[in-house]
Amino acid sequence: MVDMHYGTEADPSYDALLFEDHLHEIRECHRVSRGCFFLCLVGNKYLPCPLPEELELEQYEAIYSTARDLGLKADLLDAWYSRDDTNYVLRQPSDVQTEEWRTQCQELQEVIQEASRKLSAGETRAVPTKFRHFTYSAVERQFNHALGLAPGTAHHILAMIRDWEKLEEGQPCFQDVDLEGLPHKRYREQLKNFRDRLAAALPNENRAYLAVPWKPGGLNTECEEHEAYLSKFREVVSAKLQTLINRSLEEEPEIKARNKTVQEVFQETLSHLALCQQHMNSEEAVDWTGSEILDRIKNLIVISYETAGPGTRHGPLLIHGSHGTGKSSLLGAVYSNCEAWFGRRLLRIVRFSGATPRSAYNLELLRIICQQLCLLLHISDGFLPKDASFDPLYVNNWFQTLIRRFEESATNELLVILIDDLHRLNPLDSDIVAALSWLPISLPRNVHIVGTTALPPESLKLTPVQRERFRNPDCYIELLPNPGTATLEPRVDSALDNLEDLFGRVAVARLASFLTCSEFGLSETELLELLMPTSNSAATLKLSSGNYNFSTLCAVRRRMKPLIREKLMSGKILVCWRHDLTSEVARRRYLQNQDSLRSAHGEIANLFFSEFSQQGSDAETEEADPTPVESKETPFQTTLQLDDVTYSLRHVEESWIHLLKAGDSNRLKQLTVCNFDFLLAAVQTISVSYLRCVLEHVRCYLLDRDLELVYYTIRKSSDVLTRDPLQLGAQVICWLRPVADASGDLVSHMIICAMAWCDGYTAPLLVPLNGWLQPPLPLQIKSLHCPAGVKLIEPTPSGQHVVVVPQTGDPQLWHVMSNSLTHTFKGHSGPVLCLAITKQSQYLLTGSDDISIIVWDLKSLNLKLRIYEHIAPVLSLTPALNNSVIVSGGEDSRIIITSLLTGDVVMKIDHHRGPVVSVKVNTAGDVLVSGPAAILVLLSFSFFKTFGLSNSVELFYFLFFLAFPTLLLV
């Protein structure tokens, strides 16, 4: 429930366009709300009456003529209404908060009302009128609009009527007054008529009458009588809303299954069917009716069934097309027409890859499809095989087994599986052979699979056999670019330009940024929490500052309708971009650098975990409770934390991805992937296979020992957790307790939480008191493949990247877990012979055959400094003295110490008789070792004073020549 007047500067009734947006929002509320969709608040004041946004030609001429006959300012109509093709449209100024417009608006309202009142004198309320509704106030017009949306809406409208007791005269803010300050008789009569209409139209239980004693200035929360009134008002509204909602749930109960598997499959299927319907009904959808492509698909599917004999097989059908070629609408056309093609009922499954969490990963997509097939075929009582395991290999074999079951079925059931945007499925390390290896290349005659992709088969994660199969014309269809496709991007840009002209770039940029960053979409409530500050309830929220209120968000959303869509997911209505292309355009316009992108992801992450932050801040500010806590005897001597925050399904689906993309690895581990409550919520609300996908997704970007421990624990526990997710606590204790002492605080905290949860669980659980299992970590975590070979290698301080110098070419920065080349450092004109990375700061040092040393900034990946001091190739280098200097050795037999900040020479050591191939400095910075004819250099304290603290102390050092010709002391 929202107040459309919250955060507004003035009454929105003076903004005709905004008033129409409010009427539109009432329609939307009626469409999606349960119980009550409109709360009507009526007091002692009737006005204002909003201006009509449009007047029909006949209406305008009648009002203008009548106003002139009555001696009113009819010229105001000419001044503020202009004619288009069919109607007269209000030319409202962009700034409706000026005093000048308010004055003009009131005068114009008076002209239209007086003329309309004269014209409607002979009209009755029983029949539709052309003029009477222009005399109604904003609240009455909204009530009439809500009441007329559909039959029976009166039972879903709630009216609260309040009266001031002993209201003083001359209070224009609380009652309608005339020019002399006395109560306005006409408007008081209209208010009485409106109240009578409320009583006649609404049931008694949908109305409430309240009275409050008058005090100068209106409501005062410090007044006991007013505070009592407000308490009663809240109680009455809450009680009536609860009654209406309960009645709605009784009359139209939500479809919920007792079995979690059935409910999960039902919700996922419903989400994708709704998306399919949206694609087919979209105004921009390509009409494939009677097209050559649709006829070709029909022939390929029908002929493979009708002409093939028993035991014959055929391949799946892959449709490739770029953005805007109509792939999704084509899939919708196949879905709606395939039953007519076969002339019989079919089993149809449709999925839009990446639209929901359960369709974003190969493992989850296949798992839900298998479970849906089990439901359709009525297999097993629990809708899962007794030996079920949500392991990738098992799920793959499970799908193939179900496909063969159709071939062996005596009923000859027909199955059609439609999967849109196969390229959007996230490939993970656990995928067998290739990400799409589960896609069969040979199908029974009564099973058909049709998939679409924006990438050609060569770019998809397919096996060589699959690629060869999709080269067959019977398995591959290429959609030619639509002539209108080239205009899609300019149209999106133009639509965003128009929005910026209406509402300002700052406001549009904020909303568009959050929609672009969302993984699956954001609910209206989540958008409001991001866009609408609530710290000061009396403040005016202006779009010029990027701050929305309920009213302005309603207006912006209505005008963004061609660009956005609503989708049902996990029982919530989420708002997201309509097309991937729109997201790309918005990212290019409003998220032009990595910092702004991470900042937006960080704000969304903070939205999901705001209660955690609040809990942490409260814990820091409040003093510890001196009252001793009653000890609870348990096998583990742990206590449940009563202030733990419950993880919701939205945390499991959306929150973790924003912490990952914001680069906040610490909170990502603490709040999600290394948090027992999050893991438990994931396996209970979705499945262990989804949790595996989440952990593997994070592993693609983050190399961390705690994360690896959790991942391999879940991986080894997949069989157990498939059958009973409540065994998560026992599995965490079994696998992680033996390594708790050697691990960080996160692992220890996870074990404590698992013990506390097991101890607090009321049903019997088998929980080990000691551990005997080996640590779950394998010897090898990741294999990095560098095609050009490796000559030199150095890890970055974060451990997430390595710098590789190939056999030939420039140094390269590789991301370890994603096995991807991030950057190539181009700057040397010769081969790089040595490299080093500073430990506390993000600098890469490279020495080359071109006799130069380059300092690279690993954050910006830019060249920071180039040093030319050697006269021969640089063979070795190392940072020293807290990364303030560079010690380098070269083929010129010199050791040169230079400043890392400026490149100036600090010291030169000329005691080698051959190339200096290695230099090292100890941690304290007072010992330097070089080789191969090793020299041990002891730098005195005067060196540090000379370099760091004093510029007047003389340099000196001690040399020790060692007898071993190839010794290197570290």
Pairing of strands 415-420, 447-453: parallel
Q: Which helix (H) or strand (E) holds 564?
A: strand 564-569
Strand partners, 157: 38
Quote the tokens at residue 410: 């005596």
Phi-psi sector, 354: left (phi>0), alpha (psi -120 to 50), beta: left
Mean pLDDT across the chain, nearest whole number? 85
Average pLDDT rounded to a whole number, residues 739-765: 85
pLDDT at 280: 86
624 has pLDDT over 60: no
Which residue blocks in 51-121 are alpha helix, DSSP H? 57-69, 75-80, 99-119
User: What tokens were used for 968?
Assistant: 């290197």
What string of H, E and C letters represents the secondary structure of 824-882?
ECCCCCCCEEEEEECCCCCEEEEEECCCCEEEEECCCCEEEEEECCCCCCEEEEEEECC
Give the residue with greater pLDDT, 312 vs 605: 605
Return the pLDDT at 941: 43
pLDDT of residue 794 exceeding 90: yes
What mean pLDDT do residues 177-205 have?
89
DSSP structure string for 135-167: GS-HHHHHHHHHHTSSTTGGGGEEEEEEEEETP
Higher pLDDT, 926 or 315: 315
Least confident piece of the model among 121-135, 407-421, 537-551, 676-690: 121-135
pLDDT by residue (tens digit) across 826-843?
999 999 999 999 987 789
Dihedral (Cα; 265, 269, 271, 272), 10-degree rounding: 140
User: What residues form DSSP beta bridges with 160?
Assistant: 41, 208
Q: Which two tokens stand for residue 372?
A: 């849906």
Does the pLDDT at position 123 exceed 80? no
Tell me what the mean pLDDT of segment 678-698 comes to: 94
Whether pLDDT at 951 is above 80 = no
End-to-end distance of the chain based on CA atoms, in angstroms? 69
Handedness of CA 737, 742, 743, 748 (dihedral sign): positive
SS3 516: helix
Structure confidence by residue, pLDDT tens digits, 408-434: 876 778 999 999 999 999 887 665 567
Query: What would the two tokens of residue 665 be?
Result: 């690895």
pLDDT of residue 970: 33
pLDDT at position 125 is 53
Point out which residues pair with 347 in neighbouring strands: 415
CA angle 172, 177, 179 (to 5 degrees): 110
Q: CA–CA separation, 124 vs 127, rounded Å? A: 6
Question: Above 50 in pLDDT, residue 668?
Answer: yes
Among 306-315, 405-414, 627-636, which stretch is predicted with the lowest mean pLDDT? 627-636
pLDDT of residue 572 exceeding 60: yes
**What pLDDT score was predicted for residue 677?**
94
pLDDT of the residue at 622: 45
Position 124 pLDDT exceeds 80? no
Question: Which of 93-97, 224-228, 430-434, 541-545 bottoms out in mean pLDDT, i.e. has the lowest?
Answer: 430-434
Q: Nearest Cα to 203, choosing from 161, 153, 261, 263?
A: 153
Rounded Cα–Cα distance for residues 958 and 272 (Å): 77
Check residue 961 and give its pLDDT: 44
Backbone angles phi, psi at 486, to 5 degrees: -60, -20
pLDDT band per the 50, 70, 90 thresholds, residue 942? very low
Six-digit token pair at 459?
């770019």
Range in 63-72, 558-567, 671-680, 927-936 with the lowest mean pLDDT: 927-936
Whether the Cβ atoms of residue 769 and residue 780 lie closer than 8 Å to each other: no
Average pLDDT over residues 474-486: 79
| pLDDT tens per residue, range 223-270 | 999 999 999 999 999 999 999 999 988 888 877 667 788 888 999 999
Structure tokens at 151: 């039959």
- What is the distance between the alpha carbons of residues 691 and 912, in angstroms, rounded to a whole number? 59
What are the b/e assignments for 619-643, b being 16+ CB within 10 Å? eeeeeeeeeeeeeeeeeeebeeeee
CA dihedral angle for residue 395, residue 397, residue 403, residue 407, rounded to 10 degrees? -160
For the beta carbon of residue 961, count every other beta carbon within 10 angstroms.
9
Higher pLDDT, 645 or 157: 157
The confidence score (pLDDT) of residue 855 equals 96
The rounded Cα 495 to chain-centroid distance in angstroms is: 22
Which comes out higher in pLDDT, residue 6 or 456? 456
Across 99-103, 229-233, 303-307, 538-542, which has the greatest mean pLDDT?
229-233
Instruction: Report the side by side order of strands in the sheet with 927-931.
Output: 918-921, 927-931, 935-939, 957-961
pLDDT at 133 over 90: no
pLDDT, tens digit, for every residue of 348-380? 999 999 999 999 999 999 999 999 998 888 876
Cis bond upstream, residue 473 (ω within 30): no
Whether the pLDDT of residue 637 is over 60: the answer is: no
Q: Strand 207-213 to strand 87-90: parallel, antiparallel, or no bridges (unpaired)?
A: unpaired
| Percent with pLDDT over 70 in the chain | 89
List pLDDT tens digits, range 861-902. Answer: 999 999 999 999 999 999 998 889 999 999 999 999 999 989
SS3 call for 348: strand
pLDDT for 629 beyond 70: no
Can you tell me whether residue 957 is helix, strand or coil?
strand
Q: Which two tokens stand for residue 208?
A: 């409430």
pLDDT band per the 50, 70, 90 thresholds, residue 643? very low
Residues present in the chain in total = 970
Give the pLDDT score at 955.
Answer: 37
Domains of the chain: 33-47+138-253 (no CATH), 48-136 (no CATH), 260-479 (3.40.50.300), 486-592 (1.10.10), 790-939 (2.130.10.10)
Q: How does residue 200 score in pLDDT terms, banded at 50, 70 and 90?
A: very high
Indicate if the pLDDT at residue 725 is higher than 70: yes
Residue 598 banded pLDDT, cuts 50, 70, 90: very high
For residues 910 and 600, what is the distance between their CA atoms, to the nearest angstrom? 54
Is 632 in contact with 661 (CB distance < 8 Å)? no
Q: For position 639, what pLDDT does the model report? A: 40
Give DSSP secondary structure letters for 888-928.
EEETTS-EEEEETTT--EEEEE---SS---EEEE-TTS-EE
Q: What is the pLDDT of residue 627?
A: 41
Residue 940 has pLDDT above 70, yes or no: no
- How far is it, in rounded angstroms, from Cα 510 to Cα 554? 15
pLDDT on residue 630:
41
- Confidence band for 927, pLDDT divided at 50, 70 and 90: confident
Give dist(CA 96, CA 74) in Å, integer.
Answer: 21
